[in-house]
Amino acid sequence: MFNFCNYMQIQSINFLNFSPKSKITPRKQIVFKGLISDVFQRSSDNKNKKVTVKNLKGEDIDATITKTIPPLKTNIHQSVKYTISIDNDAKGKAIIEANRDNSVYLTRLHTERTSQREYKGLGTQLIKHIVQESIRKGKNGTITTCAYYGNEPPFKFYFKNNFKISDYDSLDIDYQRLYNAPLQYAVTYNKNIFDIIPKNNDTFYMELDEKGAQALLEGKRLADSRICDSIATTIIDDELYSAQFIESPYEGEFFLQVLNEDMDEEKLCYIASLRPFEDEDGQKHFKINEVLNWFEASSDMVDDFAQSLIPELEKKYL
C-alpha cells in the first residue's frame, strides 16, 4: 500500500562551508533546532531487532526488523526506513519522515498482498517500531498518515491498529471524521468497506494518538471494545434500511448510521454525530452536531427514520 498525500512542508538549508581556520572540527556535532541531533555525525544507521510474527497455521515465526537511516538530503526531514525480513527475505517495509518538530509521518507501508499472504502481523510489527521511534522523539507514539486505496484498501488495517480517521482540511471530504462510523462497522462485522462507503472516498487522513499507540504496544485493539450495535430496520420505498449505533474513536462522541441493505454496494446513506448533554432538569439527551445525508428521493424519510430513533438511544445508552 502506498500513501501519497505527504502534507508536510519541505524546507531547505544551505550548504555550509568552513574556512581552514575554523575551530569546528569534522567530529564535532552540529545541532540545528528541529533536526535529528546526530545527522551530521553519521550518514546512516542500521539496527536489527528480533520480533515474532505468525504463519497461516498460527505458529510463531522469527523475523528481523532492520532500521536504516539514509544520508540527510538538503531539507530538514529525516527519513527512516524499516524492513521486516524472514530468513533474510524482505517481507515488508515502512518509510517515515520526521518533521523538524519531530512529528512522525508515515509515507509508505507495504507488506504481502492478501492473495499471496504467508504471514500475519508483519504490518503491525512495523507500526509498533514506528511508535517507538515517535516515543524516542518525544511525540508519545503519535503517528499521522494519508491512507490511499491502491490495490488493497488499507483503511481497515490501520483502524485495527488503533488509527482513526481525522478531519484534515487538505482533503476535500465533508466531515471526514464521520467515516469512522462505517469503518468501525466494517471491522466489527468483517465487511468490505467499499460495499458501504462511496467509492470516490478513496483517501483518508488517519492518525494514531497517544492512547492508541500505548494500547497497540500492549497488544490491544481499541476497535474491539467499542459499541457497534444494529438497533432497528425499516422499509422505505419498498427497500430495507438498517440503523446502527456506533461509538466514535473520539471520546464523548457517538454515531447514528443508516444503510440501504438492498444496495449491493455504497450502502451508506446517512451518518449523524451525536454527543450527550444534560438539560436544565438534569435529563440526559443526545445532541446532533453534524449530519451527512446523501441526496436521493427518499432522503427526507431516511432522516425522519434516524430522528425517530434518538429517544430510544437516550433511554438505552445514557
**Domain ranges, residue 51:** 46-224
pLDDT at 295: 57
Is there a single domain that holds both residue 115 and residue 243?
no
Is there a single domain that holds both residue 170 and residue 241?
no
Secondary structure of residue 54 in the 3-state scheme: strand
pLDDT at 73: 59
Is there a single domain that holds both residue 121 and residue 252?
no
pLDDT at 259: 96
Is there a single domain that holds both residue 169 and residue 52?
yes
CA 164/CA 180 separation, integer angstroms = 7
Q: 157: domain CATH number? A: 3.40.630.30
Is there a single domain that holds both residue 105 and residue 156?
yes
pTM of the model: 0.82
Is there a single domain that holds both residue 189 and residue 74?
yes
Measure the CA angle with vertex 285, ends 257 and 225; round to 5°. 50
CA 34/CA 39 separation, integer angstroms = 11
Burial state string for 242-280 with b = 16 or more CB within 10 A and e = fewer than 16: ebbbbbbbeeebbbbbbbbeeeeebbbbbbbbbeeeeee
pLDDT at 162: 98
Distance from chain centroid for Cα 117: 22
CA 49/CA 28 separation, integer angstroms = 29
Tell me how many domains the chain contains.
Answer: 2
pLDDT in tens for each of the 318 residues of the chain?
Answer: 444 454 333 333 233 333 333 333 333 333 333 333 333 333 344 578 999 999 999 999 999 999 998 776 545 667 889 999 999 999 999 999 977 788 999 999 999 877 788 999 999 999 999 999 999 999 999 999 999 876 667 999 999 999 999 977 555 556 889 999 999 999 999 999 989 998 888 889 999 999 999 999 999 999 999 999 999 999 999 999 999 999 999 999 999 999 999 999 999 999 999 999 999 999 999 999 888 887 565 688 999 999 999 999 999 999
pLDDT at 170: 55
Q: How far is CA 251 from CA 175, 208, 254, 275, 315, in A?
A: 17, 14, 9, 10, 20
CA 245/CA 137 separation, integer angstroms = 38
Query: Which three cell numbers mark 91?
Result: 517481507
Q: Domain ends where: 224, 242, 273?
A: 224
pLDDT at 16: 34
CA 212/CA 60 separation, integer angstroms = 25
Q: What is the 3-state secondary structure (H, E, C) of 30-46?
A: CCCCCCCCCCCCCCCCE
Is there a single domain that holds both residue 204 and residue 254?
no
